[in-house]
Amino acid sequence: MKKSLLTFLGIFAVLLFFSSWSNFEREIDEGIKKPRRRKTEQKKCIECHSDLMNNKIVHAPIEEACDNCHSKKENGHPDRQGREFVLADAMPTLCYYCHEEPSKKIIHAPVEGGECAICHSPHSSNNSHLLVSNSISSLCYECHDLEIGEKDRVHAPVEMGSCEECHDSHQSDNRSLLKKEKGSLCLSCHDNINAEIKTKYPHAAVDDCSNCHTAHSSSNRNLLTEKIPELCFACHETFDKKHGHSPVKEGDCLSCHVVHGSNNRKLLIEKESSNLCLMCHDLGMENSKVKHAPVEALECMECHDAHNSDYNGLLKKEKTMLCMNCHSDLEEDFVMINRHAPFEDDCSNCHAAHSSMHENLLVEEAKTLCYMCHDDIQEKVNTLPIVHKVMNDDLSCANCHSPHASNESAILLSKEKELCLSCHNKEYSTEFGKIKNIKEEIEKSKYIHDPVKEGCSSCHDSHAVKYPFLLTDYSSPMMYTPANTLNFQLCFNCHDKELMTIKRGNLATNFRNGNQNLHYIHLEGEKARNCNICHATHAADGKHLIKEKIWFGQWEMPIGYEANSNGGSCLTGCHEKMEYFRSPGL
């Protein structure tokens, strides 16, 4: 019984074997690709071809049977006519019996050409994946010349010969057989860049790392395709104006900008551009009392260009025109008749651009600043005994003069007469006596001294002199003084000295009795009468500026002058009524 059962099982196994073999052959014939699993007399192959299996790693089909890949021709093997074994199918179809056929967009050329044996040994190898070389990079370099040569910088995977870190050797859906899309691939190692790219303002170029970097090697730092700033100028306009910012001229774009991305506009490394400026530029404002509004608001870019400019200081416009952008009220000064030279030349002659210890951003205290050019006035103020009071107050020169421009001579703030009367509209006490309310005196008087009609500078100096009341020339302050023209020089600057020197004549004066010069009578001897005893110096209601009254000690003495067509008369405390006639008998 036991013997019969063994016989039955043996017959069943033979039938099953031939049935399976028949099905396998039929599937191959019908084009169904499945690996063959036919045992041959492999030992006979090995007797001659033992060298094909001597390496560490043996191709799996060889371990099973040589005719998994080879088929024998009808004539016997071996014979003396040469090789009689052929591949069981064409390459690479044969490989795809076991290995998955490529299906991605891009296929490595040797794979697509069925030249698997260029890289892989079909029998055995001492290298993983049956590679014909123990170094993947050396295998790649058989076909691919990376032109590394003498270049200074080599990408780390390239330098280590790890081409497979980035590339798939058979197929890929990405260009250059990359394992991932280019940006994602780079970020798989350079994950620190990922945070920069995900900021609010990513650099446009980061959509493809190769816009700026080479993948294998470069002569430039960070594997850049060009040196900075040439690389930047591939996209950004070059800076070719007259003056360039130092970092720009030196190609140091990265001193201000981040290359990959930033949460700050224009890829700045600081949120506020002013903070960036202050990293290099010390404006010395810590102890300044007055700060320029744009500087205080940290708006450097209101006035300066960050990269280059045709103007000094990287200004956006010529300096004066730049100032006019904000100080538009000064535009009309440029069309005035008289313009202050420093103002017309450059605002910075007088004003600091950023900060100052002085009001209005002046580079010096106002008066000191004026004296830097007007040293002749400074000398007068410092050396002469009588100084106009306004010269020593806070406004100093600006009390009377415009620092910029005016339609009046000497760039006065207004017409000379109006300007003087804007202060002399009240009474003042001085060490030399009282100064009347000149404005009131002029406005209420019938007659005005001709020089006063135009201004005051005919008789007064506006800065400093050696004579009381800022008189430009000497005029005796005494009621009586010796008869000398020098004692009346101020008046004789305009009036004829013959009033004092000619006793008789018809031409010197109309104040005469016949041809007798009555001025001469009043101005002779050791007690010549001062002109201002009878005449008002600014204005009066009497003809010839004759006063109605004059102080004589504590007595306000009446003069009692009356004029007529042929002369006149007066009745003073000095003498009885006196009359004079220019033409006797009329």
Say which range, 27-36, 129-138, 507-516, 555-564, has the weakest mean pLDDT. Answer: 27-36
State pLDDT tens for residues 544-562.
Answer: 999 999 888 888 889 999 9
Token pair in block for residue 183: 């940006």
Residue % of the chain over a pLDDT of 90: 62
Across residues 303-331, what is the average pLDDT?
A: 92
Which one is predicted more confidently, 47 or 60?
60
User: Quick one: DSSP state of residue 272?
Assistant: S
Cα torsion angle, 497, 500, 502, 508, sign: positive
Mean pLDDT of the chain: 87
pLDDT at 41 (0 to 100):
57
pLDDT at 172 (0 to 100):
95
β-partners of residue 512 are 517
State pLDDT tens for residues 237-247.
Answer: 999 899 999 99
State pLDDT tens for residues 378-431.
Answer: 999 999 999 999 998 888 899 999 999 999 999 999 999 999 999 999 999 988
Token pair in block for residue 580: 């004079």
Burial class (CB in 10 A: 0-12, 13-18, 19+), 305: buried
Which residues fall within 8 angstroms of residue 96, CB to CB, at 6 or more apart? 33
pLDDT at 68 (0 to 100):
85
pLDDT at 54 (0 to 100):
87
pLDDT at 31 (0 to 100):
42
Tell me the pairing of strands 124-125 and 355-356: unpaired
237-244 long-range contacts, CB within 8 A, separation 24+: 239/307, 239/308, 240/308, 241/308, 241/309, 241/310, 242/308, 242/309, 242/310, 242/311, 243/308, 243/309, 243/310, 243/311, 243/312, 243/313, 243/314, 244/307, 244/308
Residue % of the chain over a pLDDT of 70: 90
pTM above 0.85, yes or no: no
